[in-house]
Structure 1
Amino acid sequence: MVNLPESLFSDPKQGGSAMSNGGATSANNSGTSDGASRIIDWPSASVDELLLLIREPQHREKAISFLTHIKKQGTSQDLALQIWHSISTVFLLLSEVTSIYKSLEPDKLTMKDSSKVCDVLALFECLATHPQTKLQFLNVQLHCYLYPFLKTVETSKPFQYLRLMSLGVIGGLLKEVGDPMAKVSVHCLLESGLFPLCLRSIEYGNDLSQSTASWIVSRIIMQEQGLQYCCEPATRLCAIMRVFKGAIEKMHDKPSGSVLKNIIQCYYILSDEPRGCLLMRSFIPPILATAPFIDALRERPITLRNLQELFQRLAKGRGQNAEAVGDVAGSSNLER
């Protein structure tokens, strides 16, 4: 079982029923009372030692930072399992996340506070990605605690950083293409209201957030439940199309290949559905067939081919865009 309290407001120091592992060790049992005066060899600290130091408030931030560094280096394959099974650790990490909620205002959120929480989110991504902790992560709905960071429409750097890292955690749940947990992950994410937050991230996020959010949408609609969710009712599909169209039109002067790749992938999947194909004819931006956008996809031949096929599907009985994509691609080759 995950070492989370039944209530976020339970104190892990109380032990007993406050811990979901039923009587976990008190959170302050691991440190000495004079912890602040101890000399700690941080670079040499093991994962287990760092997890113990998280229980000491005066060392928590630095311990989390070092664990994040270990995660980035990939030097501990069992890091997710060590975090998950470490008494009180997930609770304390979650408390760090929720402590910043009150600062989610433009004049309150600092880059320092944002960076602190993003270190925690990097560890959450580790839990979300690992095959042996992913299901437990979903079962206790840890992903839902990230939604306040995705609901915001602020675009300053601290908010963008939180948004991107939160999307990274969600992406970890959907990372592996052949993951047998994919259906479960998509179901949990849809049930918890993630999808509109992905659309909001495409609207208000920077290039990296837009790319990650649109990638998540593409992974969701690869699953049958996700595709049905998007296509019914029609108003939801219209909302999706409007967001995609707006994102593409905003990049008219400097198209982003990574964002385009994922949005085109979404278009391509949705065009397999009769309703999706029908509505797409009214919403897909014609500028997708112009030279700047074709050039942005030059190093992504599969995406370019999907775009051509997409326009061919939409052009049945009326279209010229498929030919336009081919013409522009050909002329661009001549120019080169």
Structure 2
Amino acid sequence: MPIHCPARYVALIVEYLESEGFDCTEALDRTGISRQSFAHLDSVLPLETLAHVSHLLATMSGRPDVFLATGLRCGPAQYGELGRAMLSCATLRDSIEITVRYFPLISRITGMSFKEVKETAEVCWQPMLGVPYDMLIASFDFVLGAFYNRLTLILGDKLPDFEVSFSTAQPPDVSRYRRLKPGRVYFGQGGLPAVRFKFGADVLDTRMPLANPIMLRQAEERVGVYYKLLRQPQRDWPAWVDTMLRESIAQQPTLEELAVIANVSASTLNRYLAAQGCNFRRLACEIRHERACHMLREHGMRVGDVAQTLGYTSVGNFIRAFRAQAGMTPTQFATSQEEPSSTPLNAGQTTP
């Protein structure tokens, strides 16, 4: 069953770009999307179509910052009943928690979590679907911009200093993140693919200006109906696990860790994978080896750096694992790639 995502984000991107003087008609025509198809707040598009048109709009306009910029213009009004529930909560903490609870209504690509550790609040977004790397970054940019916009609307000049940490590498056009003031943005933080937003927990008790328990109860009842209708019985679990494994840095995710993110038990996740013809251990080993070959062949990375990036506890463990699959050491493999007559191993490419 195809996965569908809210079409309102295409409408927001088109509205933003055309306000900046770029005509989006050609990009929409090339993907077969009519403006009427995303005119209604509850309209949806297949995930593949959303990814295609988003990529075209960003590249044809020459605006790789468009997703962050669009997120910065996105407020609760774009979320329908869920937006009304957010605004009707008693405190900022309650508003964030209800957003986490129903976040699939906002994004099917990423999931959202929230925690407090002593005096620090942390919101984290992680991929929930297997998507291309550029679509993952676009999704991160959008939810980050929308959350920042929401905080500024509620807190105004009381917005505290904050930190944004991307597990992913720094993009070429890093200047777009300067709009996130008074924040500091870091890249290449490693671990599972994620973007984290940390700020002082003292503002969580800020009263919401439109707090209304009756409206909250009514809105949440309607949101609950939408949420039940949205549940996806045939999610592509292997594709999601593949994405999480390939984009993790300095860590090799375990089945248990991925199960926590997916909000299922490890045994349930294992059953879902098996039902779709996938074995987690075998997939994890294959992807780890493919990534190692890619780093050695394409980037000329040192063996120790490859081992660290892939989350091995020691260089020796990496060398033994690599030899078991390739029949040679990482150094021998790297050397063989420099020889024109060498026979390439059966190793794939990773997402850049």
TM-score by length of 1: 0.33
TM-score by length of 2: 0.32
Higher percent of residues as strand: 2
Higher percent of residues as helix: 1
Q: Which has the higher contact order (CA 8 A, sep 6+)?
A: 2
Higher-Rg member (1/2) = 1
